[in-house]
Structure formats: C-alpha cells, structure tokens
Structure 1
Amino acid sequence: MTKNKIFILTLLFLLASTITAQNNLLDNRLRLAQSYEEAGQLDKAEAILRELQNSYPENYTYFDAYTKILIKQKKYTEATQLIEKRISLTPQDINLFGLLGSVYFMADNVSKAYDAWERGLRVSPNLIIAYRVMANYAIESRAFEKAIDILQRGKKISNDQELFSIDLINIYLANMRYKDAGNEICDLIIKNPEQISNIKARINFYSDNKDAINQFITSIENKIKDNPKPALYDMLAYYYSLIGKYDYAFQRLIEYENKINGNGNTIISFANNAYQNKVYDVALKAYDYLIKNSNNKQLLPLWRFYYASSLEMLFESTIKSENELWKPYNNFNLIKEEKLRDVINSYESIIKDYPENSLTPQILFRMAEIYFNRVGNYQKAESLYTLINLRASNTEFSVLAFLQKGKISILNNQLEDAKSYYEKVLINNRSNLNHQSEANYYLGKINFWSGNFTDAIKYLSETTKILSNDFANDALELISLINFSKSDSLNLIKYAAADLMLYQKKFREAAREFKDLSNTQTFSLISEYAKYKLAETLIAMNDLPTSIEVLEELAESSKTGIFSDKSLFLLGKIYHFGIKDKTKAVSIYQKLLEKFPNSLYFEQVREYLNELQTNNG
C-alpha cells in the first residue's frame, strides 16, 4: 500500500469519526431538550430546539420537535411562521398545510385555517389522498363541517368513492347527524352491497338509540322509493329488527329474497335471531316460510324442529303467569293435553318423517318434558325418557333422561329406583360436571330423606366441589344442618320427612310438620330451617299473608343469620310477583342491599330494582 493511499484512508477515518461525534452531540442536545420538556421547563427546551432548527433547517425531526414545543406554549404566531418557512423548502408536502391549518384553528383563526387546508388541496387538486389527509386534520381540530365539505368534494372526483363514504358515515354518526348518515349508508350499499356486513356491525353500536334507528329507517324508506335496490331491503330489515319490529323486518326480507331469487339464507339468519330473542310468533312465520319455500331439503328437519320448538315456547310464554315461576315450589294447575296437541303433533311428525334423524333424541326429550312438566303424565314422560336411553344411549340426552327419571321416581316415592338412575349418571361418560353435580345432590337428598346422614354428607360434599353449579349452595346449607343437628337426630329425621313431602308436593302434610318443628321452645338450627321451609310451603299453597308473617319474624329474629337476607329476598319476591305491591317490594329490596352488601342475592336484587324502577318511570 502506497503512502498516499494510507494518508487518504486515515483522512476518511478521521472525517467519519468527526461526523459521528457531531451527530452524537446533536442527539444529546435533542435528548436534553426532551428532558427539559418532560420536566416542564419549556423555555429551556424551546431555546435548544430553536438553536437546532436554525442550524439545521432541513432536518424534519428538529422542525417537528420545535413546532410542538411552540404549540405547547400556545405560541401560535411563531409556530405558523415556522411552518410557512418549512413549506417554502418543501412546497409539495401537503401534511405541512394540514398542520398549518390545525395551528391556525387552535389560535381561533378559522378563516386562515380553512385557507391553509385549501392551499394543501391546491398543491395537487387531483390527488385523492390529499382530500382525506386534509379532512383528517380538520376532524382532529373538530372542524367537522369543513371536514364534511372536503370529503364530499373528494368523493365527487374519486373513482373509489367507498372510502369517502365510510369517512362521511363515521363523521355524521359522531355528530349525531343520523339522517345524513342514513343517506350516505344507502349510497354506499347501493354501490357496494358487500359493505352491508361492515355497516351492520357499525350500526349495531346504536341499537339502543331508537331515534337514530328511526332516522336510518326514514332515510332508507325514502331511498327505496326512487331506487329499490335489493341491498336496501336487507339493510332495512336489519334496522327494523334492532328496534324490535320483527314483523316489518320479516316482510322486508321476503321482498329482498324475491328480488334476488335467493335461497333463503337471510331468512334462516333472521329466524334464528328472532328465536334467540324470544320473538317466537315471528320465528314461527319465518320457519314456516322456509319449510314451504326453500329447496334445501337437507335442512328441512332442522327447520321443522325449530318451528315446533317456537310453537312450544310461544305456548310457554302464554302460561308464564300461571306457572308462577318465582315460587320456590309450584302448585300450578297442570295443562290438559289437548291444549298442547299442536306442539306434540309437530314434534311427532318430524320423528315419523325422519326416523333416523340426529335430532330425534332432542325431539323425544322435548316431548317428554312437556308430558312431565306441563301435562303431569309421568308414565308417558318416563316411557319417552326410557326410549331415549335405549335409542340414544351415547348422547347427552340420555344423561338428561336419567336425571329426569330420577325426579319422577322421587315424586312416586320410589327412592331406590331414583338412586339407581342418578348412579347411572355418575358412571356415564357423557356426563359433564353439571350433570354429576346434580346427580350427587339428589343422591345426597335421597340419603338425607332416608335418614342416612353420613352418606348424605358424602354425596353433598361432591356437589360443593364446584361452587358455580346450581346445587352447591343448597348442598352447603344441608351439610350445615346435618352437621349441627346430629345430636337432635329425632327432629332431624322429622325435618327430612317433611322436606320429602314438600318435594313430592304434599304441601298440607309438609306444612303441618314444618310448623310443628318451627314451634320448638328451645332454639335449634332445625327450627330456623323449618320456619323458612314453612314459608316456602305456604307460598306454594298461596297463603301469602301467613308466609309474610313467618318471613318477617325470621328476618328479624334469626339467631344464626343464615336466613336474614334469604328471608328478605323471598319476602321481596312475594310483594313483587305475588301481591304485586311494587312500592313495598322496592322498599324490601333496598333494605336487603343496605344490610347485606355481600349477599348471594345482591345482583339478582339489583336487577329486580332496575326492572321495577324502569317500569315505574
């Protein structure tokens, strides 16, 4: 290597080292300014950044930092002057015009702000992105009218108007201009029906705003008069569904399907939605339409099942008040089979026409439940449950059938048969944790009723291993009663016998035994349990005045505290659902919340209070 080459390399190395050192020095100065800014010493930060900006006017990082520190101190004149200088260096940078307009807007100089944004648009009047950029600066400044103006102008010259429509819809919605949003939505989905799913998801946010939805409906109804495109009918049906006008929605979907010669997919979705929202009368119409009009024969059994199920649920809703489901134990009148014949026939016809269908176990179970819970024909119900065990032994419905057969056996006082059914549930590989918890609970109860208290605790303890299941709390209470009352075994056996009578709906006999136990002179845990059970039994017998007396006394005088909040909760429900004295119910519920903020019934009571206060305006 020659001496000249060595000299040149050395010189380059020294030059590179000098540049690196200088850059490090500048970076350190910038970091120092940022530290001053974070510490709130804005004047010191500004001085350093001014020096860097003046020394290196082409460096965007220094420009950006200096501009922000000026804006932070509300030195808007200096900031606009700085931005104008930057524009003179890079006049094609449209973001600078957007920033300039934003600073003028902060300074309350609206006309200059608008002028700056217009200057940005004039840089490249046919550059579509410029309109969106300027509109975004206007939106960030909350200059919404200007943003709308810019977007509308951009939309007119754009070949891709979709993006502008979406921006306009968002800004209209944000400013509660629902009519304008509705018109823009119409334009968008007419041009691009594929956007319907996105629009539905966006509009769903306004589902509780009936004023907004009604304005959307008005916009789309007016648009349909001039331009009856199929997509508008689909969107209109969705709007009507959001405000609960399912009949209107259904009619619009039929028009939509007719216009597109559709295969019924939108009707399927609508029918399922109506069913899930418990609008069973409309769900019935929708499933009936599918049954009669669809060519999809594979789904026909499923639609017929949902038709029958809708028919059943519609019937259930008509007798809801008769069932008095709020009561711990029901004694409502069983329904004559003739009244349920249409429902039963609908289910039976599916099995007849599709005997090998996968829905058969579920259909048999629904029929069995009707005979068990509504007609009170235990023999017919049990035969259907048994049919499920034989024909669908490897399904969950077989497990459910064993659980229900166990209840029928208890009602018929066949406790050993009931035990065998629940034991089958425990060994069935289709049983889930909830099924097993229920089976263990009833096995615990059967042993309790039979006086086998040790075995009862064993099964009940299994139930409590999953505290979230429906039986855990009752199991814990019963374990507590057994453990603390073993020394009073005669009264415990008497209580167990009365509890079985109550389950078997022998209310008069149960009431007599519970009353006798509750009148025990010396305090015992059994007497408090018996008093609460007496109240439940009296409610089943519709003797609400006496049950109120019992619960009021128990709520005030419970020595254990176990039944204080529980009694108040049941007392509130008597006034709420039984006597229908809303004022008294509210008073009791509020008392429960105040006295027992950690009560298990806290959330349920809050729901009841919200319901009562909403209904009362």
Structure 2
Amino acid sequence: MKIKIIKLFLITFIINFAFAQTQDELNLLRLAQSFERAGEYERALKIYEELYNNNPTNRVYLEAIVRLNTQTKNYDRAIKLAQSWLSSHPDDIDMMARLGDVNFKAGNEKEAIEIWDKIVKTYRNNPGIYRMVADYLIQNRLYDKAIQYLTTAQKIAGVPELYSFEIAMLYEFTMRFDKAVEEYIKILRRTPSMIPSVKSRMSSYINRSDVLKQILPILESEAKVSKSNIGILDLYTWVLMEAKDYQKALEIQTQLDKVTYANGEVLLNFARDLFNQGIYHIALKAYASIIENYPNSKILAEAKFGAIRSNEEMLRLRFNTIENPDSIFYSELRKVESDYLKISNEYPGTKYEAEALFRLGLIKLDFYFDLDQAQRYFEEVEKKFMLSHGKDAVLKLAEVFTLKGDLESAREKYLYLMKLKNFPDTLRVKFLLAQLDYYEGNFNAAIKTLEEISKFTSSDFSNDAIELILKIQSNRFPSEENLKKMALAELKIKQKRFTEAISLLETIISTCSNCPITDDAIFTVSKTYEMLKKFDKAIEYLEILLNGHPESIYADDALMEKGKIYQKLGKNELAIDAYTKLISQFPNSIFVNEARKRIRELRGELQ
C-alpha cells in the first residue's frame, strides 16, 4: 500500500513539474512575442534563443530567430540557422523559401532566385508551392517573377482563374491594367457573382482616362464572346459609364436585361442611376425602351413617370442657361405638363398622381412664376396625399405665400410642419421662420431662432444662420430703419418686384452713404439691375462699390460680377481686365480659380 502511495506521489510530482516547465516556457514565448510586437527585437531575440537552446527541435522558435535576425539585418546568422535546420529537415519547404528570402535581403539575389526556382522545380506539380514561394517574391517586390510563378500554377492546376486576384493585384502594382482586367475576366467567366469584389478592386483607378483606354477594348471584345455572362456585362457597363459612353452602356444593359429575363427591371435600375447622375437624355431612352418593349410590365408606371421627369429636367437645364426661352421651349414644356396630367389621370390615388401634381406645381412656380396655379396644385397634393407627399406640398405652399406677400399664412404653414412628429427638415423650417422675422423687421426674434440653428454645426443651415446673424448685428446701427429697408428689398427681389426693391436700396444708398449697410445695398442693387438686364446700371453701381468702398467684403464679388457682365456683353478685353484685377488684388478670394478659368476661355486657351 505504501509503495502504491509513493508511486502515485511520484507520478503527480512529475506531471506537476512537467506542467510547470511547460507553463514557464509558454510564458517566455508570450513575453518574446510581446517584445517583438513592440519592436524590441534584441530583447525578443534573446528569449527566443534561450527557448531554442532548451528545445532545438522546436521549429517555431527557430523560425522566430531567423525572422528577427533578418529583421535586424544579421543576415549571416539567419542564413546559417536556416541552413543548419535544412540539413536535418530537407523537406521543410517553407524554411527553404525563407532561406531564399534572407539571401535576397542580404544582397545574394542570384542565390535567392536559385533557391526559389529549385523549390518550384522540385514540386512542379503542386500549385500551392508556387503560391507560397510567390508570397516571398511579392514581399521583395519581385512582381514579374511572382506573376510567372502564379500563372504557371494556373496552368498546372488547369484552373485559369486560380490566383487571378493575386495576379491582377501584381499587374496593378506594375501599372499593367489591361493584364489585370484579363485576370478579372477569368474570375467572372467562372463566377459572375464575384462582380462586387472585382469592382471594389478596380475602383481606385477606374476613373483614369489612360486606364480606360487600356481596358475598354478588352472588355468590348470579351462582351462579344460572353454575351450571357452577367458579371462581364455588368463590368463592361460600369467601365463604359466611367468613360462617359452612356449610349453604349445602355445597349449593354439592354442586352443584360434580355439574358436575365428581367422584363425591364435591369433597364429600370439603370435608368434610375442615369437620372440620379443627371444623364437625363440617356435615362429618357432607357425609360422609353421599357415603355415600348414591356407594355404589360408592373414597372410601366414608373417608366412613364421617369420619362416625363427626364424631359422636365432637360428643360430645366436649358431654362437655366438661356436668356429668353422661345416658343419651341414652351411648347416642349406644355407637352411635359400634358404628360403629367395624363399620368395623374391614368393612375389616380397612387404616388404617381401625387408626384405628377406636385411636379406641375413646381413647373408653374419655377418656369412661369404663376403663384395662383402653383398654389392650386400644391393644395391639391396637401388635401389628397397628406400622408405621403403632403409635407413637401405644405413646404412649397409656405414659399408661395411668402412670394405673394402673405407672410402670416406662410408662418402658419411652417409652424404646422414644426408640430409634425418626426419631421425631417426641422432646421430648414426654423431658418425659414427666422427669415420671415427678418423680412418683417423682427430682428431680435430672428436672432433668437438663428442662434438655436447655429448650434447644429454639422448642418448647412448652421452657416446660413451665422451669416444672417452677422448681417443683422453688423447693420442695426446707427438705426434699424435701413436694415428694415434692406430686408424688405430682399423680400421684394424674391417676389420679383424688382422696381420696388431698387427704390428701397437706392434710398439706403442716398441717405446713408457711410453706413455699414451701404456696400451691401450697392452690390444688391447692381445684381437687381442685372436681373432686369439693365447692364449699364449694374456696371455703374459696381464701379461705385469698387471706387467708393474698396475695403468692402463685396469687392471681389463686384469684380467677378463685372467680368461676367462684360463677358456676357461680348466685351472680352474688359472682362479679362476685371478678372485680372480680381486675381491680383484678392489672391485669396474664392473666385480666383474661376477667374483664371474664364481668362483662359476668353483667350482661347481652353478647348
């Protein structure tokens, strides 16, 4: 019995002793790893060597010693350790590859290449070995050699897309984007669903014109072969969009819609993207294709509405760039209005009726400044579609009331919106309420609201609020009367009552020539005359501002406007003179880059 107890005691002692040794060794390993992570390589190396001396068969310790000797550029020591290990472990391929790595870093490039070549030659039928060795080549920026190994691995495996992501990356490193795309094509041929990963990899350089020239012919050729591969067609469309070849992109999307039996869904998504990017003419074609080819589709209503919206947006672009819209323009606009009325009747009680009526209100407001008709449409939306589109309609109604001069009704609409639960545009409405107080001369109330808005520094309205606060505070003295005239004049301008606005502004200028508000009034009256196309009077007041108030914060604005007016009148030399003065006198102005561009345009230096 005693003997058994003694044996049990001895066994327990031995196990505990061994465990203690193992735990101590593990603690030392963790300490070494901690030093290594902290960059204290000498301290880490000392512990690793102690561990290795106590356990010379432990490859983890050896690898750490080789690694740290390489890190500290003690290449001879690292090479000797690796060679010693390989003499007794000749099949340790990774250590052999690491030996090549150390030799290369030590400047023994020929020896390194020979070692790596020997490995892949020995294991010529194993693609994984090529991949492992290629990693060391990549670490040493031997990209072409790595590509050679990886493409050989593809052939050995009989899998064309094997390691294609890695090969594509190496081609990208070496600026051979055409070759990179060929590798991505291999991936998409086998797995079209990898398109998000491919796009993600290419996104960093796809906007470069030189790259587009390299890869477009390759994708065009591939698309002719892979006519039903959704990954290839999607990639080709994406690249065409970056190259701004929108018509060709539409053709490919039409093809993609057919091969996926999408019944117009692919085209609809493409049309939406085009519309959101402002490419309205091609969006219109996409919508029209859906209407023509899928007349019974569930997406027909959206396609019809999208086509009308595209036409409207194209007219808006023209409206903002032409001086006097002609009868042809208004004929096209009436066609859009007719189409909105038609779709509102075709889909009563739906979002299409609501949006059509709302768009009609916007057209009456923005194109015709027909406040009564705009009000009628917005009120109809408010009445029939309050839950879905009513908030936008109420917001526009408040604007219409402001333009009509009915500020009290406008205020009621804004306050109504403020009471709505989860209304998303609270700051916008608060700012508009502060503007109403400003127009009415209630400056203290305006400032109180504006200060609340200014606290939301991430909002665009915060800057607008601060700007209006400064305007009020800077111009209230010596009397608020001129500021009230100024605020009222700004309201008159918004209401297109330009003559009344000019009268108020010229009163400020004539009665208070040295007041802080005067330069603001001069610049504003100049802009108002420009709206009336009375360019001589506009220039006259800009000269008054520049000569009489050279220190004004509007001085650079004045030079910019002066140049634009002269450019509009075809007086290019005078325009160039104004832009040149702006650049020389106000080198830090936000208008400097635009002024330089306009000078180059006028001199014919820009195509």
> Which residue identity lines up with residue 387 of structure 1 in the other structure?
E
CA distance in 1, matches of 2:29, 2:187: 52
Whether 1:382 and 2:375 are equivalent positions in the alignment is yes
CA distance in 2, matches of 1:286, 1:612: 36
Whether 1:294 and 2:281 are equivalent positions in the alignment is no
Query: In 2 relative to 1, CA 362–130 (structure 1 residues): closer, same or farther, beyond 3 Å?
Result: same
> Which residue identity lines up with residue 239 of structure 1 in the other structure?
V
Q: For 1:413-454, what per-residue CA distance to the aligned partner results, in whole angstroms no more than 9, with x for missing partners?
A: 344443443343333446431342244134314432xxx555
2:417 match: 425
1:538 match: 529
Structure 1 stretch displaced more, 221-230 or 95-104: 221-230
Whether 1:509 and 2:500 are equivalent positions in the alignment is yes
CA distance in 2, matches of 1:285, 1:546: 48
1:579 match: 567
CA distance in 1, matches of 2:515, 2:46: 84
1:494 Cα deviation (Å)? 3.9
1:612 Cα deviation (Å)? 6.4
CA distance in 2, matches of 1:187, 1:413: 66
1:388 Cα deviation (Å)? 1.1
CA distance in 2, matches of 1:101, 1:584: 68
| 8 Å CA contact retained: 1:135, 1:150 | yes
Structure 1 stretch displaced more, 572-581 or 83-92: 572-581
Query: In 2 relative to 1, CA 3–167 (structure 1 residues): closer, same or farther, beyond 3 Å?
Result: same
Query: In 2 relative to 1, CA 115–439 (structure 1 residues): closer, same or farther, beyond 3 Å?
Result: same
1:387 Cα deviation (Å)? 0.6
Whether 1:364 and 2:352 are equivalent positions in the alignment is no
Query: In 2 relative to 1, CA 257–361 (structure 1 residues): closer, same or farther, beyond 3 Å?
Result: closer
1:370 Cα deviation (Å)? 0.8
Query: In 2 relative to 1, CA 459–105 (structure 1 residues): closer, same or farther, beyond 3 Å?
Result: closer
The within-5 A match list for 1:123-202 is: 124-158=123-157, 161-202=160-201
1:7 Cα deviation (Å)? 5.8
1:99 match: 98
CA distance in 2, matches of 1:570, 1:93: 78
CA distance in 1, matches of 2:494, 2:98: 76
CA distance in 2, matches of 1:552, 1:97: 79
Whether 1:400 and 2:392 are equivalent positions in the alignment is yes
Q: For 1:49-92, what per-residue CA distance to the aligned partner results, in whole angstroms no more than 9, with x for missing partners?
A: 66654553312233123213332343434423322322334344
The within-5 A match list for 1:143-542 is: 143-158=142-157, 161-224=160-223, 228-231=227-230, 232-294=232-294, 297-322=297-322, 337-395=330-388, 397-429=389-421, 431=423, 432-448=425-441, 452-453=442-443, 455-457=445-447, 464=454, 466=456, 468-470=459-461, 471-477=464-470, 479-480=472-473, 484-485=476-477, 488-520=479-511, 523-542=514-533
2:572 match: none
CA distance in 1, matches of 2:435, 2:516: 22
Q: For 1:107-164, what per-residue CA distance to the aligned partner results, in whole angstroms no more than 9, with x for missing partners?
A: 3433432332233335544433222212212111111122111111211232655441
TM-score (norm 2): 0.84
Query: In 2 relative to 1, CA 517–216 (structure 1 residues): closer, same or farther, beyond 3 Å?
Result: same
Structure 1 stretch displaced more, 419-428 or 582-591: 582-591
Q: For 1:5-63, what per-residue CA distance to the aligned partner results, in whole angstroms no more than 9, with x for missing partners?
A: 32662475268538846974896699689969989895x98677666545533122331
CA distance in 1, matches of 2:29, 2:387: 76
Query: In 2 relative to 1, CA 333–216 (structure 1 residues): closer, same or farther, beyond 3 Å?
Result: closer
| 8 Å CA contact retained: 1:551, 1:567 | yes
CA distance in 1, matches of 2:398, 2:248: 46
1:598 match: none
Q: For 1:281-338, what per-residue CA distance to the aligned partner results, in whole angstroms no more than 9, with x for missing partners?
A: 1111111112222377332222222211111111222233237xxxxxxxx7798742
| 8 Å CA contact retained: 1:33, 1:46 | no
Q: For 1:526-550, what per-residue CA distance to the aligned partner results, in whole angstroms no more than 9, with x for missing partners?
A: 4344334334323433434224324
> Which residue identity lines up with residue 418 of structure 1 in the other structure?
A
Whether 1:67 and 2:66 are equivalent positions in the alignment is yes
1:327 match: none
CA distance in 2, matches of 1:357, 1:18: 80
| 8 Å CA contact retained: 1:415, 1:446 | no
Whether 1:594 and 2:588 are equivalent positions in the alignment is yes
Whether 1:548 and 2:548 are equivalent positions in the alignment is no
| 8 Å CA contact retained: 2:52, 2:62 | yes
Give 3-state SS (helix, strand or coil) of 2:171's partner.
helix
Q: State the number of aligned residues.
A: 588
Structure 1 stretch displaced more, 574-583 or 278-287: 574-583
| 8 Å CA contact retained: 2:364, 2:371 | yes
Give 3-state SS (helix, strand or coil) of 2:479's partner.
helix
Relative contact order higher in (CA < 8 Å, ≥ 6 apart) = 1
Structure 1 stretch displaced more, 196-205 or 585-594: 585-594
> Which residue identity lines up with residue 409 of structure 1 in the other structure?
F
| 8 Å CA contact retained: 2:25, 2:51 | no
| 8 Å CA contact retained: 1:440, 1:462 | no
Query: In 2 relative to 1, CA 318–2 (structure 1 residues): closer, same or farther, beyond 3 Å?
Result: same
Query: In 2 relative to 1, CA 263–455 (structure 1 residues): closer, same or farther, beyond 3 Å?
Result: same
1:98 Cα deviation (Å)? 2.3
Structure 1 stretch displaced more, 301-310 or 105-114: 105-114
Query: In 2 relative to 1, CA 593–406 (structure 1 residues): closer, same or farther, beyond 3 Å?
Result: farther
CA distance in 1, matches of 2:586, 2:393: 39
| 8 Å CA contact retained: 1:337, 1:375 | no
Structure 1 stretch displaced more, 466-475 or 435-444: 466-475
Structure 1 stretch displaced more, 459-468 or 526-535: 459-468
1:606 Cα deviation (Å)? 8.0
| 8 Å CA contact retained: 1:287, 1:306 | yes
Give 3-state SS (helix, strand or coil) of 2:203's partner.
helix
CA distance in 1, matches of 2:4, 2:135: 59
Q: For 1:158-211, what per-residue CA distance to the aligned partner results, in whole angstroms no more than 9, with x for missing partners?
A: 265544122222211221112212222222222222222321222222222122
| 8 Å CA contact retained: 1:97, 1:119 | no
CA distance in 1, matches of 2:581, 2:483: 36
Give 3-state SS (helix, strand or coil) of 1:321's partner.
coil
| 8 Å CA contact retained: 1:520, 1:527 | no
2:571 match: none
1:464 Cα deviation (Å)? 4.7
Query: In 2 relative to 1, CA 573–529 (structure 1 residues): closer, same or farther, beyond 3 Å?
Result: closer
Query: In 2 relative to 1, CA 376–116 (structure 1 residues): closer, same or farther, beyond 3 Å?
Result: same
TM-score (norm 1): 0.82
Query: In 2 relative to 1, CA 614–59 (structure 1 residues): closer, same or farther, beyond 3 Å?
Result: farther
Query: In 2 relative to 1, CA 129–547 (structure 1 residues): closer, same or farther, beyond 3 Å?
Result: farther
Q: Percent identity?
A: 22
1:225 Cα deviation (Å)? 5.3
| 8 Å CA contact retained: 2:582, 2:592 | no
Structure 1 stretch displaced more, 206-215 or 126-135: 126-135
Give 3-state SS (helix, strand or coil) of 2:271's partner.
helix
CA distance in 2, matches of 1:369, 1:289: 27
Q: Which runs of 5+ in 1 are unaligned?
A: 324-331, 559-563, 596-601
